[in-house]
Structure 1
Amino acid sequence: MTAAVPANSPVDLARCEWEPIATPGAIQPHGALLTVVYDNGLIAHASANLEEVLGSTPASVLGQPIEKVIGSVSEIVQREILLPGSQPLQSSVQLRDPKGIPLQLHAFRSGRYVCIDIEAVHPTEERRHVGLAQSIIESFSAALTQNDLCKLAVRGLKEVTGYDRVMAYRFGEGGHGEVIAELCNPGIESYLGLRYPASDIPQIARALYLRQRVGSIGNSSYEPVPLFGHPELDDGVPLDLTHSNLRSVSPIHREYMRNMQTAASLTIGLADGERLWGMLVCHHSTPKVPEPEQRSNAGTIGQVVSLMLSSLGEAETARQKLKRQATLSVLVERLATQDTLTEAFAGASAELLELVDATGALVRLSGNVLRLGILPPPRVIERALAMAMPSSDADPLGVDDLGLRHPDLASCVADGSGVLVLPLASGGDDLIAWFRPEQHRTITWGGSPIDHATWDPAEGRMHPRASFATWKETVSGRSSSWTSADVSLALALRQEVAAEMAMRTSAELAKLRYYDPLTGLANRSLLQEELTALQTTSGPGASLLFLDLDGFKAVNDSMGHDIGDGLLIAVAQRLVNAVRPDDLVVRLGGDEFVVLCQGVDLVATKGLGERLRQVIDEPFEIAGHWCHVSASIGIADTFMLGDLDLVQAADIAMYAAKQDGGNRSQLFAPGLHEIAAQQVTFNHDLREALADDQFVLVYQPVFTLKPDGDVLNGFEALLRWEHPKNGTLSPDRFIPIAEKLGHIHPIGDWVLATAIRQALSFRTICPDLDLTIYVNVSPLQLAHPELVAGMREILQSVPTFPPQALCVEVTESFASDTIVVDALAEIRALGVRVAIDDFGTGFSSLSNLRRLPADKVKFDGTFLSELTTNGKSEGFFSILNQLIHSTNMTVVQEGIETQEQLDFVRAAGADMAQGFFLSLPLTVEDATQLTHEHGRRLLLK
């Protein structure tokens, strides 16, 4: 065979940003690397130290089939890594080196090659950290802020890795980083609170950490091991070793580590979405190579931290907004009660400044100028606003260095280094500008940020700084930064000002005739005039969207009319913000709204319908109460009406959307008119169904997952309507109509009473099974003030039935509503259990979930099907199970349809399961038989 040649030629390292850190052509010496040509399985590259690790020289393996070198495990490697369309590819099969030490393989793709890391696995005490990592991840549920999370992660990573120092490093303004959490061994100097320049971690390295989150250096003084390529199989393209655990690192970085007296490191990138948020960094004073399993556990910790960073950041912003919500409420009240808006702001000057934590503000409205608090000179303010003024419909513009950006505004620095400019929706020059003074700050750097590197002309390369002595810098000319909470509150104020200005128009008499006094929207009279005008003109066609709120009656009945009115106002505001300026938004009355659009095609109208559905489906906070409604939307177009008018056709389509479960839109079709006529008959049939015993229950088994055989846990009671003409109907055919027409409460009472009595019969067959009956409860039932009293009465009528054997289920999307949370708390006070149903399809976060009065979480089947299509699903799903278990709740997986899915959820840690694979819903007789069978099994154990 031809002699092996170097796989990559030397590269000029004069600039850090030019370094080929992903394609270094070498690896670290604590392992070996092979590459295989993807198409033919022949070895194309081998590291120079292959004989030390595998017992074969590079020259002897290059060009050979992979199975001749790795041996009996080659089929497993090929099956697991030689798969098209996956990047990166990973495998964890094992073999042994000539000394009998186990070797672990890690595989990934690089162009036309499959690369294989080969590392020794030393059976040390660090193996015990598998369970420790799981307990550390569970502890993260206690974090309320991103800093809390980082402190918990540092503590856990110190336990898992045993490195001398573990830090959490966060990137801030200008790309500079700061150590925000740290644990280190006694006698080691602390870096906590120190800032490091952005140049310490070049952009090319940051991009690499987004692609490969975990990197380690076993010895900062190592000599790189070159790679050799087969002359005919090496295509000359540098190997991308981004995903290699052995990738050699920059000599500049290794020198930087030695200057820090650090011999070994382990680094985990933390991402917030697609942005590198920071890093978890472990340092050791002596060489230390992490075990593959230890590195994997560290990576899992980093993955969970990244997953939680975004939601915790949003929660912190929400808490800041909540603290100042009362201030905004005072401002809004003043806007509504004063004769002019200028007088309103003058009377609430303290609140206006407090809203965004400013020391001064300038308000300009309709030519009137109001100056509040401490401000720069007027002429300077005008020049500053001329430079910083955004367009009237833009978001607020906030800067903290006005004088530094514009030297001719240097006189702004003392009283107005920071300015937040809010253009008002009225247009023109109307605005609110808040000011903050200069804030002198001292920043402590870990070494001078100025002398970060030196150039050695003899070597033709850079050397990193050698000193990390603390260096203090006094920063001036800047104010404190404007936060996302500041910007959000400013936008909320703009909406209130816009709404108030809309109410203060000169056409007050016209508004009394044509506008709804509660929401300020157009009313039925104005809509009718617009529709009449359409009929008398030959202009473009029109479309109409008819919206009816799902669940509004429950809010109005349980929280009172003040909250209900506030909700209608909030819905109106969202609708107005979601449509075009020329579209007409109408409140017909009650909880019914209409949007009239002219000159749009049907595709655009359907898109608008989906947008309106989404904005209504987001939760509302009204006077400190969270509530949730959705919208059933009917859409009609002038070209498909038949004998109907636009409103009638859209109304019929809306009822069809309501019948299909609500929270959706429906396009009008002629057949829907016939269906609408049938609704009258359907209403009568529902009234007769209870009296004539037309409802029945079927029972789907729920099983507890056990290693030695699954055990019957109970049954979910499912409602069916044996309609005398239409046959058996499932709940989705009639429950939305029953809710709309007010029949849901007697139906719900019947289901609850029947299910409890039947469950008592099942429990009598085998008391040791301790069976539970699961009953779905509508959000409308939970909103009814008599629900809990009625449930108590039903339980008392069956004294031998223990309340804890009843578990009521509520859909996740409604579970965080204030009224639902209060009702669930009262239900649990009876001893009844609560389950959050269809988890994974709604908007609840894990931080909300742990605060809910619930005992079980039922994962939706669609969630499972999506997870099992992803190779990373098992780890992610297992972490979700652990986090929910950390809240002392039980996990139930719904929708099990295959043996593969059952094995998947069992391995991931689910407690219970149900689905068609395990059992279809059963009649009373079949459910009784199943209970007898499981009772006999229990007796035989």
Structure 2
Amino acid sequence: MGGTNHTDREPAREAAAPPAIAAAGPAARACEAEPIHVPGSIQPHGALLVVDPRDGRVVQAAVGAGGAGAVAGDPLGRPLAEALPPGAAPLLRDLDSRLPDAGVVHLGLMRGGEALHHLLAHRSEGAIVVELERALASEPGSFDDVYPHVRAFLDRVQRVRDVAELTALAAREVRRVTGLDRVLIYRFDADWNGEVIAEDRNDRLPSYLGLHFPAADIPAQARDLYRISRLRLIADAGYVPAPIEPPVNPLTGRPIDLAFAVLRSVSPVHLDYMRNMGTGASMSISLMRDDRLWGLISCHNRDPATVPYHVRTACDLVGQVLSLQLAADEASAVADRRDALRMIQNRLLARMAAADHYVDGLIASGDDLLALAGAGGAAVATGGTVVRIGATPPERDIRAIVAWLSARERLDVVATDSLVAAMPEAGRMKDLASGVLAISTSQIHDSYVLWFRPEVIRTVTWGGDPRRHAEPSADGARPSPRTSFAAWQETVRLRARPWAPPEIDAAGELRTAIVDIVLRKAEETAALSERLTSINKELEAFSYSVSHDLRAPFRHIVGYAQLLKKYEGERLSERGNRYIDTIVESAISAGTLVDDLLGFSQMGRATLTPVAVDMDALVADLRRRMEADTHDRNVEWRIEPLAPTRADPIMLRLAMQNLIDNALKFSRHRDPAVIEIGSTETADETIYRVRDNGAGFDMAYVGKLFGVFQRLHRVEEFEGTGIGLANVKRIAERHGGRAWAEGRVNGGATFFFALPRR
């Protein structure tokens, strides 16, 4: 992604959707297939040595002009320590043990000839890759020299909550510490097209603020590299690469993977792209949202320029902080939206439950039904009738949409912001139904609730004609990127405003309410709906009171009691000190009880996010974390291969953690303690079990086990709040499953929970 000196606006073009640029012709496909992680060369401002970790000898090497003074003679076949100046030896000590599985380690500065070099290393396909990057005479000697700039950014970022202001702040800070001509914040959309949402620059390069760039400008393999390695520098777009000799790594029989290499050479197509846009140097910093690439901090300079290593480290930290802040702000906005929609859901549920038929309740709540999905119109199609609310297509067109939905694989929720893309005849409905969100309320009949959004005509300004991403070069040797980046406008039609994830989730939860509650328990729900509303308000008030009013006093009790013992303990009797210990222990126990109670109250209101869950990996991770607390015990683990499932991973992890904690606690007095974990699949459900050989329980009291605050053993024997098993039961039931237990006194216990296989 880059910039240009062109600022003219070309005529607008109309399209039904943003163009699919990347899949155009052979040149574009060649860009996508280029193996950019194995370029076979490096940028020339340093040197790269590939070392066999078994004997420490250099098996491949590339020495650029900037690394000539740091590598003595031909390094191939020589021990690494002999190939480098004597001053490098202390930096290379225990090198193999210091390197992580992924990522680059900065070993320090070394002098090679008349120049200083940064010594860096990382692992690649069983080899050790050592890089020597030429250092500038005037660059910061350590990260401490640039930290004050980063600290100033951290102080300011805490006070910013608007995405535009946050990204503008980051662009300004990165340009300030690097001194480059232009810094852009670039955000990807769902189709990997990019948009410049913030910019800071001088007059040496033109503005790109607000411009869009096609997905093919940064093909899939390049995005994958940005995800793996967060920072990349190209100091001179006109550089002559230094080849790696020999080209094939003798350890693997293929070219060395340079995904993590700081000096990695880049695609010649990308260098052409940079030169076409008038850029002599560039640096990119990845912005992540969880494990997905959210965008880039893209830096440009008109002339070749080097950004010192420690300055790049500071910029990388700015990128990480910006990523975390953007993710937090986005999560907060989504949470607020979900809370607002949940209130609407509660009102809809109350009216549906009170009505003789759920359709009557939805019609009576027309405004809420529209607000639930942020739609202009809605319709309920069931039993051969269609009821319309708000701005909707005619009934015949709604029936055509229902027929199209029924002909597809029946899904619980269907959402599209371009109905015409899947249903060409829907073009006539564009003014009312360019976008459709639908839920199926029956697995047998054609019953649907549908929401509609009208066409939103919008103009997208691209940085150059996106159809001209790449064309064959004159000699046919490689693709040639477009030469013009003049602002090129496109009018997008036949698309509605996209449905947001909270809206789609809210529609899915409404479907669950209709199918699982309203249709089967309408009379019971009608009687309880008003009471549930009151209870929810009381529970929210109680949760607030607990979190803000009870936690602090318990902390104060613990803190002051410990202070009393520290400063006055010598003057107290043994009994007095024992009393203080009892106060501290009781206050800590009460605080834990408050936390557990809060977790239990929130469990019933949390939104389920079902995904495929690898139960083997989940249990292995839990066991690894718990072994730290059981290292002094003889615990025998018997874990069978576990069937995978689809559930909310956070809730499922909590359920399994509670059961394993329970098993470890009640088998404390056994040597060995035997913990068995397994699963069984039936036609309808997957059953998981956790068995121990501990204290067990009397089956006459099994009904009390999963109740809140229910305990079958004295707290003096086994600690706990009596809420863990209640959480397991609630989690299973939230997924439509069940929980139960079997046991006998001093004969161990087995706890089961089952999840539906649908």
Equivalent position to 1:644, from 683, 700, 707: 700
* Deviation for aligned residue 1:79: 1.1
Q: 1:111 to 1:299 in 2, by over 3 A?
A: same
Equivalent position to 1:113, from 122, 127, 141: 127
* Aligned residue in 2 for 1:199: 216
Equivalent position to 1:18, from 6, 18, 33: 33
* Aligned residue in 2 for 1:805: none
- CA contact 1:263–1:285 (8 Å) conserved in 2: yes
**1:587-602 to 2 correspondences below 5 Å:** none
Equivalent position to 2:54, from 24, 39, 42: 39
Equivalent position to 1:305, from 315, 319, 322: 322
- The DSSP-based 3-state class of the residue aligned with 1:104 is strand
Whether 1:503 and 2:517 are equivalent positions in the alignment is: no
User: What do residues 663-707 of structure 1 show as CA deviations (whole Å, max 9, x unaligned)?
Assistant: 423966444799xxxxxxxxxxxxxxxxxxxxxxxxxxxxxxxxx
Q: 1:209 to 1:152 in 2, by over 3 A?
A: same
User: What do residues 248-305 of structure 1 show as CA deviations (whole Å, max 9, x unaligned)?
Assistant: 1111101100111110001011221222111110001111111111111111222233
- Give the aligned residue type for 1:292: Y
Equivalent position to 1:664, from 699, 724, 729: 724
**In structure 1, what is the Cα distance between the partners aligned to 2:262 and 2:649?**
49
* Unmatched runs of 5 consecutive residues or more in structure 2: 1-26, 534-538, 548-598, 611-638, 656-660, 667-688, 729-740, 749-758
- CA contact 1:150–1:168 (8 Å) conserved in 2: yes
Q: 1:570 to 1:318 in 2, by over 3 A?
A: closer
- Give the aligned residue type for 1:41: G
* Deviation for aligned residue 1:197: 0.7
* Deviation for aligned residue 1:211: 1.2
* Aligned residue in 2 for 1:103: 117
- Give the aligned residue type for 1:105: L
Equivalent position to 1:493, from 485, 505, 510: 510
Equivalent position to 2:288, from 271, 283, 295: 271
* Percentage of matched positions with identical amino acids: 28
* Deviation for aligned residue 1:184: 1.0
Q: 1:346 to 1:390 in 2, by over 3 A?
A: same
Equivalent position to 1:168, from 164, 185, 195: 185
* Deviation for aligned residue 1:30: 1.3
Q: 1:309 to 1:281 in 2, by over 3 A?
A: same
- Give the aligned residue type for 1:119: E
* Deviation for aligned residue 1:611: 8.7
Q: 1:302 to 1:350 in 2, by over 3 A?
A: same
**1:454-469 to 2 correspondences below 5 Å:** 454-456=471-473, 458-469=475-486
* Aligned residue in 2 for 1:53: 68
* Aligned residue in 2 for 1:532: none
- The DSSP-based 3-state class of the residue aligned with 2:55 is coil
- Give the aligned residue type for 2:83: V
* Aligned residue in 2 for 1:586: none
- Give the aligned residue type for 1:319: D
Q: 1:68 to 1:645 in 2, by over 3 A?
A: closer
User: What do residues 704-728 of structure 1 show as CA deviations (whole Å, max 9, x unaligned)?
Assistant: xxxxxxxxxxxxxxxxxxxxxxxxx
Q: 1:36 to 1:411 in 2, by over 3 A?
A: same
* Aligned residue in 1 for 2:237: 220
Whether 1:27 and 2:42 are equivalent positions in the alignment is: yes
**In structure 1, what is the Cα distance between the partners aligned to 2:293 and 2:510?**
33
* Deviation for aligned residue 1:349: 1.6
- CA contact 1:161–1:290 (8 Å) conserved in 2: yes
Q: Compare 251-260 and 397-406 and name the one that shifted more.
A: 397-406
**1:355-504 to 2 correspondences below 5 Å:** 355-365=372-382, 368-388=385-405, 394-424=411-441, 428-456=445-473, 458-497=475-514, 498-504=516-522
* Aligned residue in 1 for 2:175: 158
* Deviation for aligned residue 1:410: 2.4
- CA contact 1:45–1:228 (8 Å) conserved in 2: yes
* Aligned residue in 2 for 1:65: 79
* Deviation for aligned residue 1:117: 1.1
- CA contact 2:186–2:195 (8 Å) conserved in 1: yes
* Deviation for aligned residue 1:348: 2.4
**In structure 2, what is the Cα distance between the partners aligned to 1:636 and 1:453?**
58
Equivalent position to 2:101, from 86, 96, 102: 86
**1:562-573 to 2 correspondences below 5 Å:** none
Q: Compare 439-448 and 106-115 and name the one that shifted more.
A: 106-115
**In structure 2, what is the Cα distance between the partners aligned to 1:237 and 1:476?**
48
Q: 1:496 to 1:145 in 2, by over 3 A?
A: farther
* Aligned residue in 2 for 1:317: 334
**In structure 1, what is the Cα distance between the partners aligned to 2:532 and 2:498?**
36
- CA contact 1:37–1:233 (8 Å) conserved in 2: no
**1:168-187 to 2 correspondences below 5 Å:** 168-186=185-203
- Give the aligned residue type for 1:74: A
Whether 1:283 and 2:275 are equivalent positions in the alignment is: no
- The DSSP-based 3-state class of the residue aligned with 1:118 is strand
- Give the aligned residue type for 1:63: G
* Aligned residue in 1 for 2:587: none
Q: 1:21 to 1:78 in 2, by over 3 A?
A: farther
* Aligned residue in 1 for 2:368: 351
Q: 1:78 to 1:642 in 2, by over 3 A?
A: same
* Unmatched runs of 5 consecutive residues or more in structure 1: 1-11, 521-550, 560-566, 579-601, 619-630, 675-941
**In structure 2, what is the Cα distance between the partners aligned to 1:45 and 1:330?**
69
Q: Relative CO higher for 1 or 2, CA cutoff 8 Å, sep ≥ 6?
A: 2
User: What do residues 860-899 of structure 1 show as CA deviations (whole Å, max 9, x unaligned)?
Assistant: xxxxxxxxxxxxxxxxxxxxxxxxxxxxxxxxxxxxxxxx
* Deviation for aligned residue 1:440: 0.8
- CA contact 2:45–2:67 (8 Å) conserved in 1: no
* Aligned residue in 2 for 1:239: 256
The TM-score normalised by the length of structure 1 is 0.55
- The DSSP-based 3-state class of the residue aligned with 2:260 is coil
* Deviation for aligned residue 1:241: 1.3
* Deviation for aligned residue 1:373: 1.6
**In structure 2, what is the Cα distance between the partners aligned to 1:97 and 1:603?**
57
* Deviation for aligned residue 1:64: 1.5
**In structure 2, what is the Cα distance between the partners aligned to 1:230 and 1:446?**
37
**In structure 1, what is the Cα distance between the partners aligned to 2:28 and 2:642?**
58
**In structure 2, what is the Cα distance between the partners aligned to 1:575 and 1:280?**
33
Q: 1:125 to 1:190 in 2, by over 3 A?
A: same
